[in-house]
Structure 1
Amino acid sequence: MKRNKTFLIIGSFSLGVVVTLILALVFKPATQVQTIVSPSNYGETSSVTQVYDALKTYYYFYDGDDQALIDGAISGMISSLDDPHSTYFTMSDYENFVEHLEETYSGIGCEVTSINGYTMIVSPFPDSPADEAGILANDLVVEIDGENVVGQNLQEVTNKIKGPVDTTVTLGIQRNDNPELIYIEVQRRAIEQETVKTELMTIGDKKIGYLQVTTFGENTANEFKEGIESLENQGMESLVVDLRNNSGGYLTSVVEMVDYILPPDKVVTTIENREGKGTQYMTSSEGKDYEVVTLINEGSASASEIFAAAMKEAGGYPVIGTTSYGKGTVQVSMPLDDHSSLKLTTQVWKTPDGNWINEVGVEPTIVVEAPEFYYYYQVYLTDGKSLEYDMVDSSIANAQNILTALGYQVGRHDGYYDKSTVSAVENFQADNEILVTGIIDNKTASELTLALRNKVRDKQYDTQLQTALEVLIQE
């Protein structure tokens, strides 16, 4: 028996060698193919040009699309940098990239980046379709309308997410390393770039201004100043600047905004090139004489982090929330002759104290977590099928969490639709004038999602904002 077994192993190995030799056999042309291009003509890029010419001249399946070869070669070089913030854009791709900073477009409203072949949500824009649907910072987009998009470049993915107004797109999301995907349907709409929102809050005898900045666009600094002036005219005594889920934008905008708040001769940031030579940005305005608190979270990136770090280190002001995203690099858009563009990391930025926060983030002076229900998502019905008693599904677990957050008694949160879940759903339906069935159908799922979003928007449950208000009241 041992002898036969040994023979079978050797026989299998030998067969493998034969197969390998056969597969490695290459057709030899009758005549030797000459070098296509002399390396001396192209210097260190000669091999790139040789491959390009070889593909055009000899590749059997070549379809005549020269631009596709060029785009592929450039994209390959950029990919080798292992830098998610350096990107090659075709002309149309670049137009799509700058849309969220400059104009209205049709989509779901979120900032994305590419990480290890995955498209990651940096942050949803506040009150956008993505935000309302429950998409969160750090979510990974695995599927779009049933198509696996892992490994596709950022522009391919974003182009698939965008679409005509009032159409829908279903994203398969991986969250918190959970291998089971969350499916979230989002209705596209026109995304308008109102980058600054203000509100005056009166708490006792204190008048506190609340100013939310959603992105640092071309006109954001002007909107910021106008918003503060409006709040001051209403009697504002202190200010909360909310940069949560703000993924950044233009350096010039954030420098101008910090300059408007801090007194003169304060360092805003230092920009360094790869030789270590730096340009220091300083404040020169009179600044403001009232207390300013900045709110940040894991979705606050880039320009948001410059602002928060300057407030913390140069201004000595409180920064409240959770550690920010950690993007300490600066990109420059370089137009190419064919109207395409490179977005290339050319510099790094450092905080007033000389810290580089890349992949580290800005640490808040007061750490406050958001409520757990902020991380729940919409109730999704697979293929529109209702959820009901005795079923098991991840969407049921999410619905159970939402019901609990809304104050309904649920006995379990593991995705099994038990009798306590039926009772909680019935109570929710009765309270919201929905036909009482104890079944989560499309109407009930939509109302549960809406009720959750309304609670998330209710500032009394915003633990980070409430902490900021308490700090300012005590001043």
Structure 2
Amino acid sequence: MHKRAFWVGILLTFQIVFLSACWTPPASAFTNEQQLFSQAWRIVSQAYLDDTFNSQNWWLLRQHSLQKRLQNREATYAAIEKMLGSLDDPFTRLLKPEQYRSLQVNTSGELSGVGLQIALDAETGGLIVVAPIAGSPAEAAGIQPLDHILEIDGQATSEMTLDEAASLMRGPVGTSVTLKIQGKKKGAKNSLELVRDRISLNPVYAALDEQPSGVPVGYIRLTQFSANAPAEVAHAVAELEEKGVDSYILDLRNNPGGLLQAGIEIARIWLDEGTIVYTVNRQGTLGSFEAYGQALTKDPLVVLVNQGSASASEILAGALQDNGRAKLIGEKTFGKGLIQSLFDLSDGSGLAVTVAKYETPSHHDINKLGIKPDLEVPLESISLDQVGTAVDSQYQAAVKLLAGQSVLAEVISN
């Protein structure tokens, strides 16, 4: 009898210890720092694409984190970053107040820096270039898509987040920053000193190209899917229509993406009907965005893409390709098929959270795979002022494609 009572007593003791180890105070008893952490945890819990949270107990992670004393805001940020890091998703990240404001400016206005769009390599986790912004110091220095950034001002990038790297490269106009760059083929390592400049985010350049063949080509280069991009593309198409163009080349090379909605609206400029993109949420539920109005033009269209065409560029290119509206020329695209949403936190910081993935109208998942062009044409390194000229092999391939009567008939029939 005494022995049984002894074992029951031990079991009860273990149970009490276990419960106390997992217990956290009610929300009303949280400090300001704990409340901020809990807000971030709750956003991810409700919105993140992977409902297994990288195969971990998300609730238990919260419990363990809240048992630790958060002394100040930096400690809270560190705890949030550690929590997000457990997801093994570089696109789901904390944006401190200054970084959050900078990201919002990046999609609507202008900034000062070197003009690089960056990402983390899906295989190595290293910092790589998605694309240099047209006319930027980075482009002038010859930095190319998929180049590796090893150091920024002598600091190794191997442990940096995307936002930390971006913050180091931004700065006042006229100041300099040194980048150690290694080519995408892991060749020589070069240190480049770049002078920061004002980076214009006007996303559209348009021109009429009078070809010797007599086919007037409307050339539109789109460098980023910013908030004003759909209106600027529509304006360019309207002006080129008035000039009597018979065909179009839409240049999405080195366009790293931007706002999802901007990509959808630009697709509607070219499509009368059809699915633009499917989105797939954490429940596996398909959503879609459709074209539903009259396109601004039905003229034949060729889209130029390369390894620096990412995200919204791939949504647009995939929509036009799968709907038979355009032919794609160039190189396989970057392969970013995840969608992030921005969420405000109570102290002015924010979270970028992966909430869905997208598929092209033919249900191609392009994440880490990219979109293959209809005609693969490698591009030699050329400067910005050589784009769309005789030395631009991809552009010339597009002009040749548009000039062929059999190709025109095929595109029109689609």
Give the alignment's TM-score, normalised by structure 2: 0.81
The match for 2:146 among 127, 138, 145 is 138
Alignment partners' CA distance in 2, 1:81 and 1:41? 23
Partner of 1:30: none
SS in 2 for 1:306: helix
In the alignment, is residue 256 of structure 1 matched against residue 265 of structure 2? yes
Secondary structure at 1:343 match in 2: strand
The alpha-carbon distance between structure 1 residues 457 and 183, as it changes in their structure 2 partners (threshold 3 A), is farther
Instruction: Give how far 1:83 is off.
Output: 1.5
Using the TM superposition, give the Cα deviation of residue 125 of structure 1 relative to its aligned residue in structure 2, in angstroms.
0.9
Identical residues among aligned pairs (%): 29
Q: 1:218 is matched with which residue: 214, 217, 227?
A: 227
User: 1:207: how far off?
Assistant: 0.6
Tell me the CA shift for residue 38 of structure 1.
5.9
Q: Give the one of 177, 193, 198 matched to 1:185.
A: 193
Query: CA shift at 1:458, angstroms?
Result: 6.5
Aligned position for 1:92: 98
Following TM superposition, by how much is the alpha carbon of 1:177 offset from its aligned partner in structure 2, in angstroms? 4.7
Q: What secondary structure does 1:216 align onto?
A: coil
Whichever residue aligns with residue 470 of structure 1, its letter is K
Please give the residue correspondences for 1:385-400 in structure 2 after superposition, counting only pairs within 5 Å: none
C-alpha distance 106-232 of structure 1, shift in aligned 2 (>3 A): same
Q: Residues of 2 paired with 1:272 and 1:147: CA distance? A: 38
1:47 aligned residue: 64
The count of residues paired between Structure 1 and Structure 2 equals 351
What is the CA distance between 1:97 and its match in structure 2? 2.2
* Residue in structure 2 matching 1:245, options 248, 251, 254: 254
Q: Is 1:312 equivalent to 2:329 in the alignment?
A: no
Give the 3-state SS of the residue equivalent to 1:169 in structure 2.
strand
Contact preservation (8 Å) 1:101, 1:218 = yes
* Counterpart check, 1:71 vs 2:100: no
Deviation at 1:220, TM superposition (A): 0.5
Q: How far apart in 1 are the matches of 2:107 and 2:318?
A: 22
Which residue identity is paired with 2:249? Answer: V
Please give the per-residue CA displacement for 1:303-330, whole angstroms capped at 9, x wherever unaligned.
0001111111113421000000001111
Distance 2:230 2:384 in 1: 30
Q: What is the match of residue 423 of structure 1?
A: none
The TM-score with structure 1 as length reference comes to 0.71
Relative contact order: is structure 1 or structure 2 higher (C-alpha 8 Å, sep ≥ 6)?
Answer: 2
Once the two structures are TM-superposed, the CA of residue 352 in structure 1 deviates from its matched residue by 0.5
Equivalence for 1:280: 288
Structure-2 residue corresponding to 1:335: 344
Which deviates the most, 90-99 or 227-236? 90-99
Secondary structure, counterpart of 1:120 in structure 2: strand
Distance across 1 between alignment mates of 2:151 and 2:187: 13
Residues 1:236 and 2:245 are matched in the alignment: yes
Partners in 2 of 1:185 and 1:459 — Cα distance? 29
Map of 1:8 onto structure 2: none
Give secondary structure in 2 for the equivalent of 1:308.
helix
Q: Secondary structure at the match of 1:256?
A: helix
What SS does the aligned partner of 2:23 have? helix
Q: CA RMSD in A?
A: 2.0
> CA–CA distance in 1 between the matches of 2:397 and 2:314?
20
Question: Does 2:390 align with 1:466?
Answer: no
Q: Once the two structures are superposed, what CA deviation does each residue of 1:115-143 show, in whole Å capped at 9, x if it has no partner?
A: 34532111101121111111111111111
Is the 1:117–1:151 contact (alpha carbons within 8 Å) kept by the matching residues of 2? no
Q: Counterparts of 1:102 and 1:454 in 2: how far apart (Å)?
A: 23
* 1: CA distance, partners of 2:336 / 2:388: 30
2: CA distance between counterparts of 1:177 and 1:196?
A: 31
TM-aligned CA deviation for residue 101 of structure 1 = 1.3
Secondary structure of the residue aligned to 1:461 is: coil
Q: After the TM superposition, which residues 54-65 of structure 1 pair with which residues of structure 2 at under 5 Å, given as runs?
A: 56=71
SS at match of 1:97: helix
Deviation at 1:366, TM superposition (A): 0.4
Change (3 A) 1:457 1:352: closer
- Relative distance call for 1:237 and 1:271 in structure 2 (3 A) is same
Structural mapping, 1:12-27, within 5 Å: none
* Distance across 2 between alignment mates of 1:274 and 1:149: 32
* 4+ residue segments displaced more than 6 Å: none
**Could you tell me which residue of structure 2 aligns to residue 107 of structure 1?**
113
Q: Does 1:165 align with 2:182?
A: no
Mapped to 1, the partners of 2:177 and 2:292 lie a distance apart of: 47
* Unmatched segments (≥5 aa) in structure 2: 1-16, 26-58, 409-414
Work out whether 1:293 is the aligned partner of 2:223: no
d(CA) in 2 for partners of 1:247, 1:144: 21
Give the letter aligned to residue 219 of structure 1: N
Residue aligning to 1:365:
374
CA distance in 2, matches of 1:250, 1:125: 16
Instruction: Identify the range of structure 1 (278-287 vs 145-154) with the bigger mean alpha-carbon deviation.
Output: 145-154
Are positions 1:80 and 2:77 aligned together?
Answer: no
Contact 2:301 2:325 in 1 (8 A): no
Deviation for aligned residue 1:51: 2.2
The aligned residue for residue 137 of structure 2 is: 129
Match of 2:358 in 1: 349
Larger of the two Rg values belongs to structure: 1
